[in-house]
Amino acid sequence: MMTLYDAFVPGCLQILESVSRLLAKAKTYCDQHALPHEHLLQAKLAPDMLDFAYQVKSCAVHSIGAIRGVQSGNFSPDETMPPDSFEGLAARMAETVDALRALEIADVEGLSERQMTFTIGDKLRWNLLGKDFLLSFSQPNFYFQVDSISKCEILGFIGV
């Protein structure tokens, strides 16, 4: 039987390590083409879409941030500004990977049946089990963020 840990953590780790490599490639691309780093960090696919840096930050939010939200019993979107440099984003990815690697399987398994609340300001209050939040909300959002920054989306659009 697949555990919650197995369904969530290894995939996040694998993808976050890829995101770290994409950040390095994106920085190199900017440097080789004499582009200001902000050119890519602030890149969007559409005017109403959040930028590249925010998408990268959101990978951390929907991985270790989601687990911490279930642990605390409450998750709200992180509306803070993302790091404004490739180095800052790389550090955020490294911290996220380290935190995920430090998790004990039992710690994550204990979250399956934990009641928690997902809130968005005064707009939404959603009570659910930890496993449902992680697998039905955060995991799909995690993969959406990754797809948005990957070679097939923002980086591909820019030409990286």
pLDDT tens for residues 2-42?
A: 899 999 999 999 999 999 998 998 899 999 999 999 988 99
Q: DSSP for 16-74?
A: HHHHHHHHHHHHHHHHHTT--HHHHHT--SSTTSPPHHHHHHHHHHTTHHHHHHHHHTE
Percent of the chain surpassing pLDDT 90? 73
Q: Is residue 24 part of a domain?
A: yes
Taking the C-alpha atoms of 35, 36, 41 and 43 in order, what is their torsion angle to the nearest 10 degrees?
-60
DSSP state of 80: S
Output the domain CATH number for residue 30: 1.20.120.450
**What three-state secondary structure class fits 9?**
helix
Structural domain count of the chain? 1
pTM of the model: 0.90
Q: Is residue 98 part of a domain?
A: yes
Percent of the chain surpassing pLDDT 70? 93
Q: On the CB side of 105, how many CA atoms lie within 13 Å of its CA?
A: 5
* Confidence at 1, pLDDT banded by 50, 70, 90: confident
Work out the average pLDDT over 65-88.
Answer: 95
Q: Is residue 160 part of a domain?
A: no
Q: Which two tokens stand for residue 85?
A: 């440099």
Q: Is residue 144 part of a domain?
A: yes
Q: Is residue 114 part of a domain?
A: yes
Q: What is the reported pLDDT for 152?
A: 45
Q: Is residue 86 part of a domain?
A: yes
Mean pLDDT, the chain, rounded, equals 91
Question: Is 51 or 148 the better-scoring residue by pLDDT?
Answer: 51
Range of the domain at 56: 4-155
Q: Is residue 49 part of a domain?
A: yes
Work out the average pLDDT over 110-127.
Answer: 94
